[in-house]
Structure 1
Amino acid sequence: MAYRLLIRRIYTPLIKDIHQLPASTTIIASSSSAFSTFLQSATSRSSFLSPSCAQPRSLPHISSRHVSFNVQDQEDFTERVINSELPVLVDFHAQWCGPCRILGPRLEKAIAKQKGRVTMAKVDIDDHTDLAIEYGVSAVPTVLAIRGGNVIDQFVGIKDEDQLDSFVKKLIGQ
């Protein structure tokens, strides 16, 4: 397999260049026996390279909603969290916090399951100390559930996926 990948990387650009040559160039150049041999071998090699090399493969497109956003400043927090029509999960975290790095993806997964009925705001406490103080954050990760501008529930630390799912469902009122 590695050999095939190496061959593809070496010969694919050459084969594309050969196919793009005008017909008259190919006929004139093919009179040379060395070039003719190269052309025949390159053409025969292209059989195992095609069709995957003829057109670049694309990854399957998965439509995904951005279920979370980073808070930029106090005004952004007020506009996107406090004044939000949707319930918002606020994740107070820090870059240096190991448990925060574990909890963040779990929260995003739990939010994604709700398919747009709730959103998540990420607040870095080192960048937004004022928000952390305002909401009484003394340890990270701290997660607040806010609906209609009011804190409905909160927790500190890591939760497993089932606990996070029930926390999110409680936020949206199920």
Structure 2
Amino acid sequence: MLRPISLFSGVLAGGLLYRAAFSTSAIRSDTGNRVFFRIRYSQEFDQLKTLPTPLLCNFYIRNDPFSKTVSERLKEIVEKETSNTVNAVDVEADEPEVRDFMIDYGVNQIPTIIALRGGIVIDKYVPKKDTDLSDLKGWVDKVGGGDAPKKE
């Protein structure tokens, strides 16, 4: 199944831009961690959520400046600053398909980052707008190091 997107990946008949809905492309960093391209559809999320290494799912809204700041900081930490094995993905919370599984994972504030391991939520980070996000690196290190408590 193909879905329209706003990024160029190919032009089909009628001039529409498309990519495969099941794409889980990622950029592998110097640390060996992966930062996956943002996802908008439940099928894309289903492929990633069962990774054996922690997956940090950043639920954000595209045009929100604070969401953008959190996203950029998270990517910087995952790509360059943590020695632990973690992966990250931005999940577009303003997409209709995403809203359903936000409820399943208890995401009720944007931005929120949930850490999944094997499809199970192991921790949650809700950044506060009046902070400099200095505690985000510590949280990523804790989750990546396996010290995060498992939640049921």
2:93 is equivalent to residue 125 of structure 1: yes
TM-score (norm 1): 0.56
Q: Percent identity?
A: 28
Q: How many residues align?
A: 111
Which one of 133, 137, 147 corresponds to residue 165 of structure 1? 137
Deviation at 1:99, TM superposition (A): 1.2
Distance 1:99 1:143 in 2: 13
TM-score (norm 2): 0.63
Amino acid of the structure 2 residue aligned with 1:93? Y
The structure-2 alpha-carbon separation of the partners of 1:155 and 1:102, relative to structure 1 and needing over 3 Å to count, comes to same
Distance 1:170 1:116 in 2: 9
Deviation at 1:131, TM superposition (A): 2.0
SS of 1:99's partner is helix
Q: In the TM superposition, what are the counterparts of 1:49-64 in structure 2 within 5 Å? A: none
Distance 2:123 2:85 in 1: 17
The structure where strand makes up a greater share of residues is 2
Distance 2:40 2:48 in 1: 10
2:135 is equivalent to residue 135 of structure 1: no
Q: Report the counterpart of residue 120 of structure 2 in structure 1.
A: 150
The structure-2 alpha-carbon separation of the partners of 1:111 and 1:160, relative to structure 1 and needing over 3 Å to count, comes to farther
- Kindly report the root-mean-square deviation, in angstroms, between the aligned alpha carbons of the 2 structures: 2.3
**Contact 2:82-2:137 within 8 A present in 1 as well:** no
**Contact 1:145-1:152 within 8 A present in 2 as well:** yes
**Contact 2:84-2:144 within 8 A present in 1 as well:** no
2:74 is equivalent to residue 107 of structure 1: yes
Contiguous gaps of at least 5 residues in structure 2: 1-26, 147-152
Distance 2:141 2:39 in 1: 23
| Residue deviations 1:110-132 (CA, integer Å, cap 9, x gap) | 11123682111111111121122
Distance 1:140 1:90 in 2: 12
Contiguous gaps of at least 5 residues in structure 1: 1-62
Q: Report the counterpart of residue 57 of structure 2 in structure 1.
A: 90
Amino acid of the structure 2 residue aligned with 1:125? A
Amino acid of the structure 1 residue aligned with 2:67? C
Moved over 3 A (4+): 158-162
